[in-house]
Amino acid sequence: MNVIELNNLTKMYGKARGITEVSFHVEEGEIFGFIGPNGAGKSTTIRLLLSLIYPTSGSATIFGKDVVKHAPEIKKEIGYLPSEVFYYDNMKVIDLLKYSASFYKKDCAKKIKELAEMMELDLTRKIDDLSLGNKKKVGIVQGLLHEPKLIILDEPTSGLDPLMQQRFFELLENENQKGATILFSSHILSEVQRLCDRVAIIKEGKIVQVEKIRTLKENNYKKFKIETVSKVPDELFSRLPGVNQLEVKGKTISFIFRGNINHIMQKIAGIEIANLWVEEPDLEEIFMHFYQREA
């Protein structure tokens, strides 16, 4: 079953582009990454899904229900962590969380305690006295305390130190194993790579690609670094189809390749090499390829 489905979802802010004809789906039990640079349209897409803003055209469903028509009932099953959190600073953390929990028809006390312990959040402190990272933790507990079936995270790790990021990912993996579906928006590729099953790449309001992380990483691309004994002409590899991000520095040639690897090997066989590395590129390098190709 698809937990989220977007069909040609478009949002214009007056004449300015928000997102254009965005379509993708998220299956039940997936951790789905949503990546793109600042201004690409991630927050706009998420706000549309939560019915905080309304589409100009197109539609979206969550749990098979139209997000505009059924917003109140859908929202009960969603945990949302916005990119920036704002609070009434005078409250104690526990009071804010109890207040948040009061919107749901279940006892969330045990879950609040469990999440706070995992994230090392002191529930007795005043929000006013918390660091940015600790305020973020409050947002995390607030978003997850009702054990939602769908968790939507908009750039969730900003402000968390690396140890807490790690803890947070473990927490998300836990919730995912218990059955929660997760939509994770980020511009940090390494975290998407670490956590997600599939990813949609958005650029200037349009989806560039939807792909399995594994496919992106392993199947299609190879990263070559070749050290030659004597300098070879720059054109040797630049004319080969599938060669991207070619860099020639003296006798060192590096590039990302997509295609039949034998074509590269035949070229290499014709020159004298001192050393050769063939590696899996990381997502950042693959991502660069998409952006350059589409530019």
Ligand X SMILES: Nc1ncnc2c1ncn2[C@@H]1O[C@H](COP(=O)(O)OP(=O)(O)OP(=O)(O)O)[C@@H](O)[C@H]1O
Q: Which is nearer to ligand X, 207 or 243 (CB)?
A: 207
Smallest distance from ligand X to CB 216, Å: 19
Cβ atoms of 55 and 10 within 8 Å: the answer is yes
CA distance 112 to 75: 19
Smallest distance from ligand X to CB 151, Å: 17
β-pair type (31-35, 198-203): parallel
Binding mask 229-258 for ligand X (x = CB under 6 A): ------------------------------
Smallest distance from ligand X to CB 278, Å: 34
Q: Which is nearer to ligand X, 82 or 281 (CB)?
A: 82
CA distance 22 to 67: 15
Q: Which is nearer to ligand X, 66 or 84 (CB)?
A: 84
Q: Which is nearer to ligand X, 16 or 295 (CB)?
A: 16
**What are the DSSP E strand ranges found in the chain?**
2-13, 16-27, 31-35, 57-62, 65-66, 78-81, 150-154, 181-186, 198-203, 206-212, 222-228, 243-249, 252-257, 273-279
54 forms part of the interface with ligand X (CB under 6 A): no
What 170-178 contacts at long range (C-beta under 8 Å, 24+ apart), as own/partner pairs, is 170/118, 171/115, 171/118, 171/119, 171/140, 171/144, 172/31, 173/31, 175/144, 175/147, 175/151, 176/29, 176/31, 178/147
Q: Which is nearer to ligand X, 165 or 228 (CB)?
A: 165
Count, residues near ligand X per rule CB under 6 A:
12
142 forms part of the interface with ligand X (CB under 6 A): no
Binding mask 13-52 for ligand X (x = CB under 6 A): x--x-x-----------------x-xxxxxxx--------
Smallest distance from ligand X to CB 16, Å: 5
Dihedral sign, CA of 46, 51, 52, 55? Answer: positive
CA distance 155 to 115: 19
Binding mask 153-172 for ligand X (x = CB under 6 A): --x-----------------
Q: Given the rule CB under 6 A, which of 12-20, 91-99, 113-121, 215-223 is the region that contacts ligand X?
A: 12-20
Catalog residues that contact ligand X under the rule CB under 6 A. Answer: 13, 16, 18, 36, 38-44, 155
